[in-house]
Amino acid sequence: MESVPLAEHERLLGKHKTLLAKHETLLGEHETLIGNLEILEEKYGFTVEDVEKKQGELVVSRKEIEKWEKKFGELQMKLEKVEKAIDEMELLDDTGVDSGGSSTIAENLNVNDNNNAVSDKGVIEISDDEEEKERKSNGSRGDTQSSKFAFFL
C-alpha cells in the first residue's frame, strides 16, 4: 500500500466529499426531471420520443428553409441583373445614343452562351407609344421619339 501524506489525504478527502455532494444533487435533479416528464406525459399525452421526433422534424424544416433562402438569394441576384439591364435599355432609349453600357447587357444576362444563343430571326421591337401606332396605320410618320425596347430571340 502506498503512503500518502496526511495533508494530501485531507485534500483528496475534501474533493471526494464535494464530488459526492454534486453527484447526489445531480441524481436528485434527474429524479425530478423524470417525474416532470411523467406528469407531462399523463397531462398532455406526449412522450420523450414524441419530443425527439419533433426536434428531428425541425432540423429537416431548417434545412428546407436554408435551401429556399439560398434559392431566393440566387433569384434576387438575377432580378437585380435584369432590372439593371432594363435601366440601361431605358437610358439608351432616352438618349438615343449608345452610352457603351448596353453592350454588356447580353453579357450580364448570359444570353450569348451556348444555352441561350441569340436567334438569327433578329430583334423584336415593342413600342408603348399609341400615337406611333396610329401614325403608322394612317401612313404618316412624325419626328417624335417613342419608347421602344428591343429583345433578342
Q: What is the pTM of this model?
A: 0.33
Q: Where are the domains of the chain?
A: 119-153
Which three cell numbers, joined as nine digits, stand for 87? 435601366
Q: Taking 80 as the threshold, does the pLDDT of residue 63 lie above it?
A: yes
What does the pLDDT average to over 30-38?
Answer: 91
Half-sphere exposure of 134 (CA within 13 A, CB side): 3
C-beta of residue 77 within 8 angstroms of C-beta of residue 69 = no
How far apart (Å, rounded) are the C-alpha atoms in residues 108 and 87? 13
The confidence band for 2, taking pLDDT boundaries of 50, 70 and 90, is: confident
Select the highest-mean-pLDDT range: 23-32, 38-47, 84-93, 107-116: 23-32
Alpha carbon distance, N-terminus to C-terminus of the chain = 94
pLDDT in tens, 96-126: 665 555 455 555 555 444 444 445 555 566 6
The confidence band for 41, taking pLDDT boundaries of 50, 70 and 90, is: confident
C-beta of residue 16 within 8 angstroms of C-beta of residue 4 = no
How far apart (Å, rounded) are the C-alpha atoms in residues 94 and 101? 14
